[in-house]
Every structure is written in C-alpha cells, then in structure tokens.
Amino acid sequence: MATRVLRFREALREAMVEEMERDSRVFLMGEEVGHYQGAYKVSEGMLERFGDKRVIDTPIAESGFAGIGVGAAMVGLRPIIEFMTWNFSAVAFDQILNNAAKVRQMSGGQLTCPIVFRGPNASARQVGSQHSHAMEHFYATVPGVKVVAPAFPKDAKGLMKAAIRDDNPVLYMESETLYSVKGDVPDDLDVIPLGEAQIVRPGVDVTLVSYSRMTHVCVEAAAALEKEGISCEVLDLRSLRPLDEGALVASVKKTHRCVVVHEGWPYGGVGAEVADRVQRLAFDWLDAPILRVSSLDVPMPYNRTLEDLCMPQASRVIATVKKTVSRGRA
C-alpha cells in the first residue's frame, strides 16, 4: 500500500478538501479560516480553492457562528465549524448542548444535525490557565454528540472524513502540539469508523489507555519500560464517545492491569469513565487496581516549569506502571 508522510495539519486539510470536493453541502466556517489561512494553517489554501461561500471568516462570536452552523445543518448542509481553540467553545456551550445535541430527539427524528465542531483542545505551551482546558470530558457526558480525539495523522484524516459524513454532531478535538507531527498516511485512505480504538504498541504486562497527545506520552513511557523488562500495550481510544469497550476489555484480559493516561483534571473525566467500565466489564481479569495519570487538580500555571509539573509526563506514567505491575507478582 502506497503511503505519504503528512503532518497532522496537512492530514486534516486533505480530509476537509476531499469531502468538500465530494459533497457540495460541506463548508468550513470560523475565525480566520479564510484570508488568514487558519490560525494554525489547517485551512491553508482552502479559500482560494473553494471561494468565500464555502470557506467563511466569522467575527469573534463563537455562540453566533456555532448557532448559524447548527441551523445550516438542520436544513440539509454539512458545516465544519472551527473554534480557534476549544477553550473558546465555552461561550457556545448552549448551542452545542441544547441545540446540536438535542434536535434529533426533540424533533422525533424529523431533523438531523450533521455538523462537525473542530479545533485545538487542551494545553499548548505557556498559554495560561484560561487557554489550557481539556474540554473533552465536559462534552463526552452529553448524549446526542460524538467526541473524537486522534493522535496520529492517519487517524486525523480518516476520522475527520467519517465525522463529516456522520449524520450526528461530532466534536473533533485536536491538539495544538500535534499539528506539526508527521506520520504515514495511505494514499487510498477513506473513512476510519468512529468508535474503534487501536493498539499502537502491543504488550503483555499492562494496558496503557490514552488518546490524543497523551498517546505519544504513553508510547514514550512504554519504550523506556521495555528496557526494564516491562511490556506495555498502548491502546489509543481515538473516539471518546462512542467508546470502544470491546477493545478495552480484550486488552485488559490479556495484560491483567490497566493504567489510564489523560490530560485533564483528575476529578471525574474520561479517565474515571474508562476506569469504571474496565472494573465493571473486566474485573475478574484484573490483578491490580486500575490507576490513572492525569493533570494535577489545579488551574494550569503559565510558568513553564510549573506547567510541566502539572502535566502528565512519561516519568509519571513510568512510575505508575511500576506501581501497578508490582501488585500481584510473586
């Protein structure tokens, strides 16, 4: 199979371009997506290619253009709405929670809302506490939406194509720190189904469950632990809602231990949800308690050293794996 090396942002752009060429109902709207070529250059060249009727610059008014997108989806278009950062989606929360997520149910199935909300999520580097929220756990609690958080360029493209074609609202969480990451993308890649996790590194001693940028942290930790004789299986969730319970259970049945690594506060959140499902569905196969590695329970500091301290690092994953692997061994 022929492949090309693409950056994460290039893979996202290819997905949007291909879907816009495939379906004239698809359009992109958001702050700086057009003339500025995208705040993170994800939409570079798209205005020239499709014109200002399908690549639409908006005012700084997330609630307003999110609502316009929801209305457009309700009447048959397929909008892609870019938030410059998911931190700014807080002012559009009502549009997502009370409109996009509920229109199908409240109309008795007469209306659908095929819309993709996308943009960078969680922390970047020294952007302060108001710009460092990991927003996925807020939205993953909402019935009626799907939540996606890819880690690699191939998945970024395939999952974006699937999201655009889905008849439900899809919240597509990217990481600003991954936009320049390179990876192989098959030339003939089509959609990657939502709700299917993937094993990115096989192992037998412990399952590391993660998504988005933290998957790379887990791979780094697993490589270091392998040198010490500890074999880690890294499971990349890719989709947070729906969640691939089958892949979770199958991996834990094999390794008998589970560590969940997620960028976000420890109270509640995706890590807590994964831990709950593993203990309910795979309890009899566990040889040690499920442990979690998360951000610290504080607003994100601006200071770089303190920021690193708050974030899940490979060193914390390694220490947590050693703790859980030591349980149940003779």
The position carrying tokens 């089958």 is: 246
Do 111 and 103 contact (CB within 8 A), yes or no? yes
Question: What DSSP string describes 49-99?
Answer: HH-TTTEEE--S-HHHHHHHHHHHHHTT-EEEEE-SSGGGGGGGHHIIIII
Select which of 14, 19, 31, 62 is catalytic.
62
> In whole angstroms, what is the distance from residue 164 CA to residue 156 CA?
12
Residue ranges of E strands in 130-252: 146-148, 170-175, 182-186, 198-201, 206-210, 232-236, 239-241
Residue 272 makes CB contacts below 8 A (sequence gap 6+) with 266, 292
Q: In which residue are the tokens 């048959």 written?
A: 76
131 is catalytic: yes
**Catalytic-role residue among 131, 137, 256, 262:** 131
Is 62 a residue of the active site?
A: yes
d(CA 91, CA 95): 9
**Cβ–Cβ under 8 Å, residues 291 and 226:** no
Distance from the Cα of residue 329 to its chain's centroid: 35
Helix (H, G, I), strand (E, B) or coil at 16: helix
Residues designated catalytic: 62, 131
